[in-house]
Amino acid sequence: MSEASAPAPAPQLPSAPAELAGEDGAPRMGLYSGAIADPDFSALEGAWAPSFLERRFIEKTWQYATLATPEMMFAIAVIDTGYLASGICAVFDRGSRRLLANENPVLPSVCAQVDPRKARLIGPGIDALIERKEARILIKASWGHTDIDLALDASKSPPPMTAVAPVGPPGRFDLTQKTVLMPAEGEVRAGNIRFPVGGELAGLDYTHGYLARETSWRWAFANGRGIAFNFSDGFLEGEGENVVWLDGEPRPVGKVGFTFDGSTPMAQWRIHSDDGRVDLLFHPEGYRSQTIDLKLILSSYLQPFGVYSGTIHGVRIDDLAGVAEDHTARW
């Protein structure tokens, strides 16, 4: 990372509110620095408080963690869609350019538990846990032929970003919190191949929302060497969730666009803003993809692992490891 020019200072984000629900019973929409201490949906009222039955169909929650070392890239997730459960366990060997693990099962809803502090998935051959213990986030999983034992140090990370925004029809909204630049220690094992983790930087995505029936997004996420970013398009309305962490603080970047060829998974992506302050190229090293089409339910995604190069707010980025995603869901 090197400075390409002397950029104008990016604006700071306001601090996250103490509670999600405002005095009017509506979620406090906005883009914030820090975490909402009380993100409970139960205090919401009116159009923002669907019935128990409706919540089973529109409420979606997940935790997703990712990190990269020079030898591998790794992602794990626990996903609760209300009426079904799912998860992700992926290990990509950067040397051989092979996916050593690529799991994305569909399970009964009782198999998943997700809240801001804990995510658990249990199923055939699966026992996965992401859990916050004070300032540490522990990731422990036995998933098929993959075993994960990691500890992330959130005390050494900058403030997270929290976005609360509408996502379509009235009463539908999403809360997402991204935590980045957490030093990780431990090991990821895929079959008989072991990848030690010693200080590499991890990121965590916690998302909880009442989402639209048809949902899609493009996403870019990376962290390392003192800089991190989270960009998306097509999902959140309002101020969105587009943030870069510079000088230890999350700072907004505004709207960004994604240009890529979904039919050619290994072709480069471009992520850019109209004002030119974000101009990145993403070079895939490998990818995960899956389409499940049950007519009433659809999930189709492409998620490459790779590296980003370019500029953000005048700061040069070179070979920064991360992920991108193109996702469409009917749920």
Cα torsion at 260, 175, 33, 315 (round to 10°)?
Answer: 0
Pairwise CA distance, residues 201 & 222, whole Å: 10
Q: CA 124, 130, 133, 138 torsion: positive or negative?
A: positive
The total number of structural domains in the chain stands at: 1
- Decide if 9 contacts 313 (C-beta within 8 A): no
Token pair 């980025």 is found at 317
Mean pLDDT by 10 residues, the chain (331 residues): 46 96 97 97 97 96 98 98 96 98 96 97 98 96 98 97 96 98 98 97 98 96 94 95 93 96 96 95 97 87 97 94 96 92
- pTM recorded for the entire structure: 0.95
- Strands 161-166 and 106-108, sheet pairing: unpaired
Pairwise CA distance, residues 164 & 237, whole Å: 9
Task: Provide the domain limits for residue 194.
Answer: 2-330
Give me the pLDDT at residue 5, please.
42
> 238 is written with which tokens?
């309002």
Specify the CATH number for the domain of residue 207.
2.40.370.10
